[in-house]
Amino acid sequence: MSHPPFSQEENCEFARFKDDRQKSLAFAPGKSGTAGIPSESALGPKDRAKHQVTKPASDTGAVKTRYLHDVDNDTKSRLYPGPGVIASITGASLSKAKDAIRQVRYGSRWLDFPRTPPIKRTYDGEVEGALRLLGYVGYWRRLPDRPTLAAYLNARTGVERDHPCVVFLRAYCVAVSGGVFCDIFSRGIVIDIDEAEGRRKKVSHVLVLTKRIAPSTIASREPASKAKKTGANSKRDQLFREAIKAETGATRIRITPNEVFVILPDQSGWYWLGARDSIQQQILEPQRDGRFRGNTNEAAAYRAAMDY
């Protein structure tokens, strides 16, 4: 399955509208609102996201209320619920959110794995643990009556109504804070809660985030990838690109710190070839039934440069 990254046109379109959402404005008290804050019921669905009142948040202590971030998908790979929700609540990049989940799941020993373990399905405790690593803590609330998402959003009270929450549905989780919403179906873009999909799905439990703490150090392979930009490693990177091109026949290649994308002769868009570590291993140690035969001169040159 291919997972092409957003096109340049899509990224430009998202950037034009990104600054127009979630701006804080003060109003006269509404019918049921507090002083200076209008009642949410008095606002239309498109206005509600624009009129969220935010509170300043520092590294510790207060949590910014009624606010979510557009997901910064710096991996250019498919968006999954757990990492997407974490990135939207914390503002961390998607790659950092995934690294936080890896650290909860494997500890820092995952850096010793031959390949970066993928993060797709996540468990409740992993989401909570990753948020704690990034400096967000709170409490769980179970909903034994399992209301629909629409009913839950309308019935929220107190802290839960204003603070960022991870809402767990049957098969995935979503991020909610005040009147704004973010999930995989919005493609990581913050939208109004009334525009959310899946409003008839059942809510089982909610993680309410109420406090900021000092974030922990999260293990990452990114610094090691950046170090491969000078000296002999730059030559190896060039040989790696040439080997991929020779093995696949690609017309263009894009290599990120963790993944490889190509444009093939019969395609017009980017195709996700695989994880960078996996592609590298397949070229260095080609298998008879593998994707890469490894019998091109370019592949042989890369293996020689890597002492294989």
List, for residues 28-62, the tens digit of each pLDDT value.
333 333 333 344 444 454 444 433 433 334 456 78
Region at 249 (left for phi over 0; alpha for psi -120 to 50; beta for the rest): left
Domain membership of residue 53 (yes or no) is yes
Looking at 178, 212, 246, the residue that finishes a domain is: 212
If asked whether residues 136 and 252 sit together in one domain, one would say: no
Ranges of the chain with pLDDT below 70: 1-60, 222-233
58/102 same-domain check: yes
Regarding whether 253 and 183 lie in a shared domain, the answer is no
Q: Is 228 helix (H, G, I), strand (E, B) or coil?
A: helix
Q: How many domains does the chain have?
A: 2
- pLDDT computed for residue 161 by the predictor: 95
Q: What is the DSSP letter of 184?
A: G
Whole-prediction pTM: 0.57
Nearest CA to 97 out of 120, 126, 122, 130 is that of: 130
What is the end-to-end Cα distance of the chain in Å, rounded?
A: 30
- One domain for residues 67 and 178: yes
Distances in Å between the alpha carbon of 3 and those of 186, 255, 273? 16, 14, 9
Report yes or no on 288 lying in a domain: yes
Does 54 lie in the same domain as 157?
yes
> Where is the domain boundary, 212, 232, 262?
212
Asked if the structure places residue 3 within a domain, the reply is no
Question: Do 78 and 128 belong to one domain?
Answer: yes
- 182 with 253, same domain: the answer is no
Give the closest residue to 112 by CA, choosing from 4, 209, 206, 221.
221
- Note down the domain range covering 86: 8-212
Of the three residues 212, 241, 270, the one that is the final residue of a domain is 212
245 and 111, same domain (yes or no): no
Residue 11: predicted pLDDT: 46
Instruction: Give pLDDT, residue 29.
Output: 35
